[in-house]
Amino acid sequence: MSAARTLHLGAFMRPVSIHTGAWRYPGAAPDANFNFPLLRHFAQRLEAAKFDAFFMADHLAVLNMPVDALKRSHTVTSFEPFTLLSALAAVTSRIGLVATASTTFDEPYHVARRFASLDHISEGRAGWNIVTTANPDAALNFGYDDEIDHDARYVRAREFYDVVTGLWDSFADDAFVREVESGIYFDPAKLHVLAHKGASLSVRGPLNIARPVQGWPVIVQAGASEAGRQLAAATAEVIFGAEQTLAGAQAFYADITRRMIENGRDPDHLKILPAAFVVVGDTIEQAQAKRDHLDSLVHYDSGIHSLSGTLGHDVSGYDPDGPLPDIPETNASKSARERVIAVARHKNLTIRELAARVGSYSGLAFVGTPSSIADEMEEWLKTRGSDGFNIMFPYLPAGLDDFVDRVVPELQRRGIFRTEYEGTTLRDHLGLPRPANRFFAD
Ligand SMILES: Cc1cc2nc3c(=O)[nH]c(=O)nc-3n(C[C@H](O)[C@H](O)[C@H](O)COP(=O)(O)O)c2cc1C
């Protein structure tokens, strides 16, 4: 019998809280996204609590909403992930460091180099969140006049993944012999030139960096559309899910498992971690009161424009107190758009009510006591809704402290979360194998 499954926990740290009201919450640090001493403190606290990873999302534009909404949001700006995670690598020793990089607006040679470097600097703790970048404004920052088609982004993403992983395999693990006596630095028989020429990319190689400590940094994804699921089932080792109900998450888990088997992959080699917003109180009522107060700090101007952004369609001109009209198909994130439309229809919400939800935070939330939160997490784990969670803190530092000081010990007491790291690399924490070099037998 295999050992009982336990939770894996990521910390969603860009922005430090996803909630638009977070920076205004009593006691919160309004400048936390740009306060390195504070970010260092958070990373060290999360490591002491044995979190699997510190995760930096990334957006290649300020979020696409008008300035009346932008001016109210702490979520629009934050550090570039590699710069921050390289600095954090030096002041932590175990916690995984997951950066987001875009397959649409970056080049595979750049991406392969950055992750290989972060993996070496952190001694095997890097992960790559592969995104195709749904924000249409990003295109305008990279020489395009218009956004790039959803399916075309995913076709390039697949080829991009093949190139980046191929570049990481440029050198055999033992290529660098560094024989001082003979003067041979590396063995040329252990160097592979990728020479890739495909539909979207042309990259000769080899990479000018030794093979990463983990072989390949851990491959993370969050796409939920048909194309996103296919790419994830073929390549991902962690999925940051966005399912909002246990039943939805179980269906997603089963769907990804089926697709992995079809791809000839072992389903144990992928961990599904839905994003979960966690508000901790002494009682469920107190936790709910905290959440209500937080939500009340979000202005309608923010809400309506977040809603337009998520739908990929400007809804600010419609009657705020009327129902959501039919929204045309768009090129933005399909799954997020469909989720919002489904909630509006299901709960019969007006545009104002829907905007209040989307503008604050409308995804999966556990709001309760350490024990009720642990109950829910345990149920998700045991019924295969997930393998853990990507935790979103409601406000910081207090929301992070509450989770680390109160929820983590409860999970540990129940034996469903580690009390010590299993090893030194992010792969060790996640129980993922180190990939063989595809060009050199071990
Ligand atoms: C937890 C989570 C984190 C994400 N982080 C990013 C990010 O940092 N940058 C980005 O462009 N998209 C990010 N996304 C969006 C996804 O990459 C993806 O585009 C989205 O889930 C829609 O899926 P689809 O592209 O398959 O339609 C994130 C999604 C989730 C659920």
Segment 143-153, tens digit of pLDDT: 988 888 899 99
Q: Return the pLDDT at 227.
A: 92
- Judged against a pLDDT cut of 90, whether residue 358 lies above it is answered with no
- pLDDT one-digit tens code per residue, 295-315: 989 988 888 988 988 898 999
d(CA 309, CA 64): 6
Q: How far is the CA of 12 from the centre of ligand 1 (A)?
A: 12
Smallest Cα–Cα separation from 16: which of 55, 67, 61, 65? Answer: 55
- Contact indicator for 416, 408 with CB cutoff of 8 Å: no
At 348, list the tokens. 């019969």
Give the mutation target among 105, 129, 154, 252 for probing the ligand 1 site: most ligand atoms within 8 A of CB: 129
- Judged against a pLDDT cut of 80, whether residue 332 lies above it is answered with no
| Pocket around ligand 1 at a 6 A CB cut-off | 57-59, 100, 131-134, 222-225, 228, 240, 242, 275, 333-336, 390
Output the residue whose Cα is nearest ligand 1's atom 30.
222
Q: Read off φ and ψ for residue 277, nearest 5 degrees.
A: -90, 125
Q: How far is the CA of 227 from the centre of ligand 1 (A)?
A: 13
Helix (H) or strand (E) holding 293: helix 284-296
- Judged against a pLDDT cut of 60, whether residue 67 lies above it is answered with yes
Interval 249-276 mean pLDDT: 97
Closest atom of ligand 1 relative to the 242 alpha carbon? 31
The residues facing 129 across adjacent strands are 100, 220
Closest atom of ligand 1 relative to the 227 alpha carbon? 26
- pLDDT one-digit tens code per residue, 359-393: 888 889 999 999 999 999 999 999 999 999 999 99
Closest atom of ligand 1 relative to the 100 alpha carbon? 8
| 81 three-state secondary structure | helix
Beta strand 196-197 with 202-203 is: antiparallel
